[in-house]
Structure 1
Amino acid sequence: MWFPRLASDRSLRAQPVDGPVALTLTQSNAERIVCLNSLAERLGLAVGMTGADARAYCPDLRTRPADPAGDARFLAALRRWATRYCPWVGIEGGDGLVLDITGAAHLFGGEAGMLTDMRRRLARAGLTVRLGLGDSRGAAWALAHHGEGVATPGDPLATLAPLPVAGLRLETKEVVTLERLGLRSIGDLAATPRAPLARRFGAGLLLRLDQALGRAGEQISPEAEPPHYAVRLTLPEPIGLTADVMAGTQRLLAQLCDRLDHQQAGARVLCLTLRRVDQDSRQVELRLARPLRDPARILPLFERGVAGVEAGFGIDQLRLEARVVEPLPARQSVAFGPQRGDRLEDLISRLGTRIGLENIQRFLPADSHIPERGFLIAPAAYSDPEGPWIALRPRPLRLFAPEPINAHGPQPPRQFRWRGMALTTARATGPERIAPEWWLEDDNWRNGLRDYWRVETRQGCRLWLFHTPQNPGWYVQGEFA
């Protein structure tokens, strides 16, 4: 199966439009066309043209940005759909599929009936497809791309002879050289002595020819199905006690964690679905602070959610699914109990089931000399502790918005009032000049430079004061322990 307009067909399926349509990508600092719909091709546009030339040639042309990643996902979905015809389906390049239909064609009334069914279903889905069928993979590829048809069984050369040499899946440079030598078709190439071809082009050319003619084998490697992280337990009799449901969940967790361990992965979000006798279902979702695959650590986290489920007339089926999975490589185990980090992560998970993981936050150091920007606040479940905290100068334990005080001059005041208290300076250390970060927008720092002082008062307060030379004034911004 070759989908010559896979990208444009997928785009038009999502957003239908009448008229010529082209998908573009930026290549070598130029916007170039990578795919066209049928109407744009009939108007003379071609893949590789720049967007400006195409619009000048066709003013009604509508362009859209191409999405190679989305096209790859769509092709993978088509591969899964094609397994309805045979179990051996592989991806051919970025716009094709290859199927080994040996022993499966009779299920659709023969090869002709299978091809007709493929065309009918893909046309109904709005996809352009060209099909080629042969005894070998090379013959099928050549027919799909340059002829569309069925190769003669046992004698593929009779069908492939008039096709161009590009049907042998050769490099563009080799195709151009063969055409200059007068070898324009597969039949011309097959009639040429092999020794001169091998000396001029190497063994790769003859291998492609033999693969197309069925003289050399070529396997089809089907894509491996992604791992499925879900297990189910159907009960002969309904249950309703929390202890019974937890026992069933324990059995499911053991199976699921074995799969995760085999794939070196850990579950981040788990969903336990409890089906009741009346066909209604209840779900218990568990979001973990870190990816886990240890049943002993995960099971207690389900207890609160399971206890709150209304069992009704009983639960007859349990299904456990890992909805979000992340890589979790093996690590060195410890001899005595869980590690300290493990206990913290379990605590975050327990609290997160009550108030939400996003509401449990931690402070992280930030690379900035501005006091207000010296730290970040991030959800603890989605960040790692960083450190150590490095401060070239001591910083106050409590930091708040600058509070003005009545003082004058560049030196710390001997006496001042702050928050209704009359304070007397006993010792002052400084100044530490901090300049604003001009590349950041911050209204609090528009006054320019700040000279910070550590002030110890006779009343016991240890404050962090600063003076602004450009607009003279004194402010209190922090308090030391």
Structure 2
Amino acid sequence: MRRVISLWLPTFAIDRINHRAYGKSQANPSDKMIDKPLATITCTHGGQRITAVNSVAQAVGIVPKQSLADARTLYPSLTVHQADPTADLKALNILREICERYTPWVAIDTFDNTPSNVSLWNTGLWLNITGCAHLFGSEEALLEDLFYLLKNIGYQARAGLASTPGAAWALARYKTDPQTKRWFISNTNEDIRNCIAELPMKGLRLECDIIEGLERMGLLSIGDLYRIPRAPITRRFGKSVLHRLDQALGDLEESLSPQRGRSTFSKYLAFIDPIGRREDIEAALNRLVVSLCTDLEQANQGARRLVLTLYRVDKSTGKVQISTSQPRRDPTHLSMLFREKLEIIDPGLGIDAIVLSASETNPLKVRQTGLNINSIAEQTENVIKLLDRLVGRLGSDNVTRLEPVERHLPELASREVSTASIPSGVKQDWGGPTHCPSRPLQLLVHPLRIDVIAEIPDGPPFLFYWQNHQRRVIAAEGPERITPEWWLIRGNMWKTKPLNNDVRDYYRIEDKDGKRYWLYREGLYYPDNHPTWYIHGFFT
């Protein structure tokens, strides 16, 4: 039987502000802000209006959608804060992730039929706990644990638990009390009909004008709809009234979709008894990785970033994240990357649930490799695995690769980027024609000026001085001329030098000791101008 919790957070926006102002916990009722009327406001065309209030403000008659002027009339010293829907949604998403310790199926309740004459702000969450309650002993024990968690965080809440989302939603809002009964449980499908019969029509999640029309007809409670023919209701108000009623009673299926951030690949594992030994954590991790990689393979996807979330017994969470330079779904490789980080995990008093999710994925199709184990594909695979391990140990910013840049000057023809930025499907080489002139294995970031003697002005070096030693040249190849980047005529390089001074003639030379160098002459010979020589790199 399906079991759904509707978790209602009637003062969520206010609780978030208190949480920000006073720290992580508002369980201590002595804070002065909690005892004062507090509201959030937003600017509209009709002026400033109330968007959310706390229970103290509700008690003096201040309600959402009321104008600030009217609210000040009721309570002149009302404390107000500017509404921040973006921050509210961010905090609600964080709470949604926290509640995944009870079930992997958690979603934000987006319904809001708040009329101007009631003090409701329908922020809430859906939790499908089907098959999860036994891990906590019972549904009652699960709810106790959930409300203990919310109290420690600082959120006021009420909840309804039933076999249909519609019934759970109505029970949370109209069958509970913030002081004496914070949640209500409907145990069976047959029990729903009696549980919601006395609840107001607002419990069916109908639009405000429909609710007002039903009340004018004398239909004040949900049970009033049981005793009248369905056809007149449909003709008068459309299908929505009976549609919502059937959903609440279980006669019509209502589907809800869980929200798991950006990740669509996620695996959840809960434990009857908390675990803390590294061997147990590794075994659970390996099980989740294999299952997740199977899903990735079926979808022709590979993981670029994986997040392991651990839910501890003391309600805290821990996270371990790994990233790969290329899309991966090799369970052995991914498990190894996680194992190298398990030593930083603090199990605390024990871990009772873990979630593994792929927060970033890219397409990855099956690739045919050669039979030769020394093939280029095999070597590339080994390099990628090494990169992943280095990134895991040193951080993505400390492991870089060269990316080509369309520039003439060799020192500007590439740049360092993080290996994590390699896009899916990128070529393993830069390509290009095979007759390109060779380049040195080691390239100096900044060319160094040297003294050179040449037999003729435009010829290759005969000898040069490097590191206080005279190097005699026995072989030279060149010149390879690299001209200025004419499209950068407005650049700094042409503001201070004549055009010809930027022409470079490169030579690949070898000295009498067998060492090979990459030298260039900058500029051309003409009257009153003597080019300068630089060393730019070293060959093997």
Mapped partners of 2:284, 2:143: distance in 1? 43
The alignment-based identity, stated in percent, is 25
5 Å matches for 1:117-136? 126-132=154-160
1:377 aligns with 2:416: yes
Between the aligned partners of 1:117 and 1:351, the Cα distance in structure 2 is 41
- 1:310-355 Cα shifts (integer Å, max 9, x gaps): xxxxxxxxxxx99885647452332524544313213435766887
Residue 258 of structure 1 aligns with which residue? Answer: 290
Structure 1 residue 451 corresponds to structure 2 residue 499: yes
Is 1:346 matched with 2:393?
no
Secondary structure class of the residue paired with 1:463: strand
Contact 1:466-1:476 within 8 A present in 2 as well: no
1:11 and 1:38 mapped to 2: Cα distance? 14
Name the counterpart of 1:69: 90
DSSP 3-state at the match of 1:364: strand
Partner of 1:148: 176
The alignment status of 1:332 with 2:338, answered yes or no, reads: no
Please report how far the alpha carbon of residue 447 of structure 1 lies from its aligned counterpart in structure 2 after TM superposition.
4.2
Which residue matches 1:463?
520
- CA contact under 8 A between 1:435 and 1:449: conserved in structure 2? no
> Contact between 1:348 and 1:381, CA under 8 Å: does it hold in 2?
no
Structure-to-structure mapping, 1:56-455, within 5 angstroms = 60-63=79-82, 65=84, 66-78=87-99, 80-81=101-102, 92-93=109-110, 95-97=124-126, 126-132=154-160, 137-146=165-174, 148=176, 156=193, 160-161=197-198, 163=200, 165-172=201-208, 174-175=210-211, 178=214, 186=222, 193-212=229-248, 214=249, 216=251, 218=253, 226-228=266-268, 258-264=290-296, 289-290=325-326, 292-294=328-330, 327=361, 329-336=364-371, 337=373, 339-349=378-388, 359-366=398-405, 374-380=413-419, 382-384=421-423, 388=430, 400-401=445-446, 419-421=450-452, 424-425=457-458, 432-435=485-488, 447=495, 451=499, 453-455=502-504
2:8, 2:173 within 8 Å by CA — same for their partners in 1?
yes
Structure 2 Cα separation of the partners of residues 138 and 114 of structure 1? 20
Q: Deviations over 1:180-200 (max 9, x none)?
A: 777665466556542233234
Which AA in structure 2 matches 1:451? Answer: L
Alignment of 1:2 with 2:13, yes or no, is: no
Query: What per-residue deviation string (whole Å, max 9, x for no partner) do you get for residues 169-219 of structure 1?
Result: 12456446656777665466556542233234443321212344x372557
Corresponding residue SS for 2:90: helix
Distance 1:371 1:21, change over 3 A: farther
What CA deviation, in whole Å up to 9, does each residue of 1:276-301 have, x standing for no partner?
xxxxxxxxx99865564546768999
Cα deviations by residue, 1:35-75 (Å, 9 ceiling, x for unpaired): 44334555766546899999998674344742413312313
Residues 425-454 of structure 1: per-residue CA shift (max 9 Å, x gap): 46988564343788xxxxx66947873643
Whole-angstrom CA distance in 2 between matches of 1:63 and 1:434: 51
Q: Does the CA contact (< 8 Å) of 2:482 and 2:503 recur in 1? A: yes
Task: Name the aligned partner's letter for residue 141 of structure 1.
Answer: W
In structure 2, distance between residues paired with 1:132 and 1:23: 27
SS in 1 for 2:503: strand
Q: Give a deviation string over 1:4-51, Cα, whole Å, max 9, x none.
A: 1234324534542725655689999x9987544334555766546899
Q: Residues 203 and 459 (structure 1 numbering): CA distance in 2 closer, same or farther, change over 3 Å?
A: closer
**Number of residues of Structure 1 aligned to a counterpart in Structure 2:** 404
Q: Cα gap change, 1:431/1:4 in structure 2, threshold over 3 Å: closer, same or farther?
A: closer
Which residue type is aligned with residue 128 of structure 1? Q
Whether the aligned pair in 1 keeps the contact of 2:40 and 2:80 (CA below 8 Å) is no
Aligned-partner residue type, residue 8 of structure 1: I
**TM-score (ref. length: structure 1):** 0.56
Cα distance between partner residues in 2 of 1:342 and 1:466: 45
Whole-Å separation in 1 of the counterparts to 2:486 and 2:235: 77
Normalised TM-score (structure 2):
0.51
For 2:77 and 2:530, how far apart are their aligned partners in 1?
Answer: 67
